[in-house]
Amino acid sequence: METAAFQALVGKRLLEIRTSIKPKLTQMRLAQELDLNQGNIQRLESAGRGTVENLLVILNYYLKQDFNLNYILAEDNSRFTPRLRPEDKVENLDSYFERLE
């Protein structure tokens, strides 16, 4: 898959995750919670464009909300569910990557 297409796919999944959160999680509210600019969120969701730092902040937030990073980041995510199973839950990105080793 081309880089731009993959970035857009990840952006679409970030949007899907955010809009699945109830009560409604707006870009503005997410930006405020993460101390980011709303434009940063919009760029990542619309085209998968933005800084690695902002992407990691957002991924860590979703991980803490028990969302599955494999579902967000895998090119073919058909084997993964959007939410982590109870036995797969972790507290932060470091713990998540330790489990992959």
pLDDT tens digit sequence for 56-84: 999 999 999 999 999 999 999 999 999 98
What confidence category does residue 87 fall into, taking pLDDT thresholds of 50, 70 and 90?
A: confident
pLDDT at 94 > cutoff 80: no
Contact between residue 81 and residue 69 where contact means Cβ atoms under 8 Å apart = no
Q: What is the largest CA-CA distance in the chain?
A: 35
Kindly list the structural domains of the chain, giving each domain's residue range(s) and its CATH number in brackets, ordered by start.
3-100 (1.10.260)
Cα 64 to Cα 43, 67, 76, 90, 91, distances in angstroms: 22, 7, 23, 7, 6
In degrees rounded to 5, what are phi and psi of residue 34? Answer: -100, 0
